[in-house]
Structure 1
Amino acid sequence: MSRGPKKRTLEVEEIISLYKKGESTTRIAELANVSSRYINKLLLKHNVERRPRGHWKRKYHFNEDYFKTWSGTMAYILGLFTADGFISQQGQTVSIAQKEKDILEEIKRELKTTQPLYRNKSTGVYMLYMHSKKMKDDLMNLHGLNPCKSNNVEFPYVPQEYLHHFVRGYFDGDGSINFKGYTIVFVGGSYLFMDTLQRILNDKLNIDTNLVTDKTNYRLFLSGRKTIQVFAQWIYKDKNLFLERKYLEFMKEKTPLDLLEDRKFRNTKNAVKLRKQKFLEQLTKTNCIEKASSLIGITTNTSKQWLENDSDLKEKVNILLNNNK
């Protein structure tokens, strides 16, 4: 059975714009989900003036050695790159993607570059591209990142004094906070990375976390009114770069940390019955036991115990999950 044609993911004007900004046809082909030959034909068709073969002229300069020297800001950017960065497999380009433009503008100032941001029209995501063999080699050889990092990246070595900056960067890339539900969730495709992150948070902050598998991803949950503020005080200590939107969610808490307590549920029959009902309501919306548990403030182990001991609840859960397949 023959395969259908690839779906091009960039518009013609986007392809031409990237080429005029100095991007290679190989890298543009990767972004557009087509071949380099296709890109060359398209540029020829639209009479785009071509660069000499094998020639690459750097139009925008930046600190190529940035990831060689540790600092709080470097650790943050490395954490954000671990979550939302991309390393070209064939070319010498590295890039960071973000929906929020401001943080990439701050990173540009830190890297001392005037490189313009590119915005994907279909997704609205902003991209900061940097063409540098040095930077690519440093990310791979010094920090253990690679072009196919999503599912096998390991937690890099980070000096202890910069660890909270790195975690804040990763949280800004692949973490979320539900303030009303007093829940934080990290998402990642690598078990090695997420398992190490869990152990770091447990040891550093003396808090309980829950790591669960959700088909293709791993989710690390932190829950509790006090727990999320303990986490916030750690990652935002002597902060430099950060996503303001997420920071402001933590700042909604007005009670001093020493007066906070994580919620303790009353074990009365009525209270448990109400929580089970809320669990079913969330399961209807999420179709995920782990997420439904987190949203009502219980651990996955608690919901599993419910299912083991409550046949009526188990039947309702099975019906919901089967109907949503």
Structure 2
Amino acid sequence: MLSMKTFLISFNKFFNILFFRIFGVKNIGALPGCDGYRKLVKFDTERGRYLDYSILEEIRLLKEQKKKPTRDMLEKRDEIIIESYNKGMSYKEMAKLFSLTDRGIRNIAKKYNLKIRNGNEQYCINKNFFKSWTNEMAWVLGMVITDGHLSANTSPSFSISQKDIKILLKIRCLFESNHPLREPTKTTTSTILTIGSKEMVEDLKKLGLTPRKSLVIKFPDVPKEYLPHFIRGVIDGDGWVKKEGSVMNITSGSKDFAESLMKIFIGWGLNSEIRTQVTKKGTIIYRVWVIGYYSVWKLSTIIYENCGDLFVVSKREKMEKHHERISRVYDKLIKLKDFREIKYYLMYNT
């Protein structure tokens, strides 16, 4: 007598195959537990062609029963894998959909004399992005220096992490890229954009970035006209603004970077200082502060000029919270010449 488990597996197999044969591949996503197949069908549909994906379900059901699929079934599966491979589907995505390892996909590609591609060849990217200075390049560089990570091993890459996914989407758009975003996990709270490009990594090295940069990063030689955009990127990456808009600070593990940043702020007429903090591991952390409503507001007038939509909204809103009041007072003060008039105005208008 058949056990209930065996009966359910057999019935499920019969029902699924019947469903495929009658309704066709377009309805494959309606089956329970077929999210992966639905994704595969969508991938193929965008290119205007359908294949018979029912063989994938048949193979899956055989594996559940610890039975081996026939050679004919595997050849049909390989046909789908080849089609997906030629259309640019990633190794990782195919491995998940076809219940194979990354090496298994590569072996099939080798078996049918397909070009073994680099993992990054499926993605497009403007590799010249960091070669010349622009407002956009300066902003992204500030983000990479503060919130980025550089890997220069056998597979050179760099990544940027952000809690605000909209920022990464803007950066990806500037890169003219279709690289995927890695969503937060149980152990991380940020979304990550990783770009695998040896050429871009080399360009970032020329600009002063290095692996494990946090404690040794030097302030890059940024042209004066792009400095506000670079500083905006630094603040968007590692800056913190108090809710009331009274103070702003940037945290860095590099003394050189922190001191250079403070000199720029002072040069812009801002009230700025550096405060240090020692971590439990004995590492010195440097916090560059901009202190006072006026200084924070003045900083915002500098870094948000001609910035388009390239900024973290919440930080800009905090920095510009008292924009109207400070602007009104500032416009009045520059017209007053007598100290007593200035004192009287500040007493009753601030």
Please tell me whether residue 218 in structure 1 is matched to residue 286 in structure 2: yes
The answer for the alignment partner of 1:93 in structure 2 is: 157
The answer for the alignment partner of 1:137 in structure 2 is: 202
The answer for the alignment partner of 1:227 in structure 2 is: 295
Q: 1:196 aligns with which of 244, 247, 260?
A: 260
Runs of 5+ consecutive residues of structure 1 not aligned to the other structure: 1-19, 24-42, 262-325
- Alignment partners' CA distance in 1, 2:292 and 2:172: 36
- Alignment partners' CA distance in 2, 1:76 and 1:224: 25
Q: Shift of the alpha carbon at 1:21?
A: 4.5
Contact 1:22 1:56 in 2 (8 A): no
- Alignment partners' CA distance in 2, 1:223 and 1:209: 6
- Alignment partners' CA distance in 1, 2:91 and 2:101: 13
**Which amino acid counterpart does residue 221 of structure 2 have in structure 1?**
Y
The answer for the alignment partner of 2:318 in structure 1 is: 249
Q: Give the SS at the match of 2:316.
A: helix
Contact 1:230 1:257 in 2 (8 A): no
Q: Which has the higher relative contact order, 1 or 2, with Cα contacts under 8 A spaced 6 or more apart?
A: 1
Contact 1:226 1:257 in 2 (8 A): no
Report the TM-score, using the length of structure 1 for normalisation. Answer: 0.63
- Alignment partners' CA distance in 1, 2:321 and 2:244: 10
Q: Shift of the alpha carbon at 1:49?
A: 3.5
Q: 2:249 aligns with which of 185, 196, 199?
A: 185
Q: Shift of the alpha carbon at 1:230?
A: 0.7
**Which amino acid counterpart does residue 89 of structure 1 have in structure 2?**
A
1:111–1:214 distance in 2 versus 1, CA, 3 Å: same
Q: Shift of the alpha carbon at 1:69?
A: 1.2
- Alignment partners' CA distance in 2, 1:179 and 1:226: 15
- 1:162-173 correspondence to structure 2 within 5 Å: 162-173=226-237
Q: Shift of the alpha carbon at 1:180?
A: 2.1
1:22–1:89 distance in 2 versus 1, CA, 3 Å: farther
The answer for the alignment partner of 2:173 in structure 1 is: 109
- 1:32-51 correspondence to structure 2 within 5 Å: 47-50=100-103
The answer for the alignment partner of 1:63 in structure 2 is: 126
- Deviations along 1:141-168, one digit per CA (max 9) or x if unpaired, are 2x01001110000000111000000000
The answer for the alignment partner of 1:319 in structure 2 is: none
Structure showing greater radius of gyration is 2
Report the TM-score, using the length of structure 2 for normalisation. Answer: 0.59
- Alignment partners' CA distance in 2, 1:110 and 1:167: 18
- Deviations along 1:160-200, one digit per CA (max 9) or x if unpaired, are 00000000000001111114261111100000001001001
- Alignment partners' CA distance in 1, 2:265 and 2:319: 17
Q: Give the SS at the match of 2:220.
A: coil
The answer for the alignment partner of 2:10 in structure 1 is: none
Q: Give the SS at the match of 1:67.
A: coil
- Alignment partners' CA distance in 1, 2:329 and 2:195: 47
- Alignment partners' CA distance in 2, 1:128 and 1:178: 27
- Alignment partners' CA distance in 1, 2:223 and 2:91: 36
1:258–1:158 distance in 2 versus 1, CA, 3 Å: farther
Aligned length: 220
Runs of 5+ consecutive residues of structure 2 not aligned to the other structure: 1-88, 108-115, 334-350
1:76–1:181 distance in 2 versus 1, CA, 3 Å: closer
1:63–1:22 distance in 2 versus 1, CA, 3 Å: farther
Q: Shift of the alpha carbon at 1:22?
A: 5.8
Q: Shift of the alpha carbon at 1:115?
A: 1.2
Please tell me whether residue 159 in structure 1 is matched to residue 223 in structure 2: yes
Q: Shift of the alpha carbon at 1:95?
A: 0.8
1:181–1:255 distance in 2 versus 1, CA, 3 Å: closer
